[in-house]
Amino acid sequence: MTAFRLAQVVEHFHLTLEQAGELTDRQIAGILFHARDKEGRLSPPLIGPQKEQQLYPLSLEEELEWLEPMKSLWGEQQYEEAIKKVKQLWESGTRQKQLEKILNQQDASE
Amino acid sequence: MSVEAAYLGIPRVINFEGQEYEIKLISGKVKAEFERLMEARVAERLANQHKRGALNRQEYQQELRILGARVDSGEFALLNQSTALTTAWCQLLLLKLLMPTCPLETLERIYDERQDEIQYHLANILDESFPKTKQAAKELEAKNSPFAQKEPE
């Protein structure tokens, strides 16, 4: 901590050097120097609208994208088999029906 | 980690042979004490060398001046992810400051027998005591990475 910052802590918060010495850098940075507005009032954290987490892929392209990280985990062969199966499900319309069922259940519960 | 755990400065606890020992966070005072003890250790070594005759008076004074310069440059300062914490001796020194209620003999046994737990606590204490410790560590790692883009000389 710089002497300037220590002086600020001591002067502004009316602490003795002993009391300031008992604080951690994180406490000073996070609590004593918490963000403030122009008038010196504490600024609350900004929380924007929460993006709803998507639980199911809504198209074949999305599902293929979701599966890609599994390639290294499953190995080439198992990954290719999974891709093939997923494509079959979408082409036969089974996946669409499954999705429709899930979404209807969600709507009903809401 | 909860906000309370990070900011209220509640000490961590280690249980050893049915006894609880608190491990404080690294306050400004602990940082300063650590630096002083590191300096004292080097000064003691130099004094012993001088006593044994390995250093004459002129060399001893010269070494003390070098020591002063090292201290001024912040070599012994306890910063986040400090290189000062890479040796067992320095870790033990820090633990002595963080666990003032623990007798030295017990502390040395805890350090020997519970090495992994101690490393775990020290890493978390550094994280809880300094702002952005993890971020600083990541940046350092990225900087030292062989894949990091170097600035043209």
Residues B31 and B119: their CA atoms lie apart, in Å, by 18
Cβ–Cβ below 8 Å for B28 and A27: no
Determine what percent of chain B is predicted with pLDDT higher than 90.
Answer: 52
pTM, two decimal places? 0.64
Cβ–Cβ below 8 Å for A20 and B28: yes
| For testing contact with chain B, the best of A26, A31, A32, A34 (most B CBs within 10 A) | A26
pLDDT digits 0-9 by tens, A88-110 = 999 999 988 888 888 888 777 76
Q: Is-contact A67 A83, C-beta < 8 A?
A: yes
Contacts of B9 in chain A (CB under 8 A): 22-24, 27
pLDDT digits 0-9 by tens, A6-44 = 888 899 889 999 999 999 888 888 888 888 888 888 888
Beta strands in chain B (DSSP E): 12-16, 19-23
User: How many angstroms away from the CA of B96 is the closest CA of chain A?
Assistant: 16
Q: What is the ipTM of this complex?
A: 0.72
Residues A86 and B113: their CA atoms lie apart, in Å, by 53
Token readout for B63 is 């070494």
Token readout for B132 is 């952005």
Contacts of A25 in chain B (CB under 8 A): 26, 28, 80, 129-131
Portion 10-29 of A in contact with B at CB < 8 A? 20-27, 29
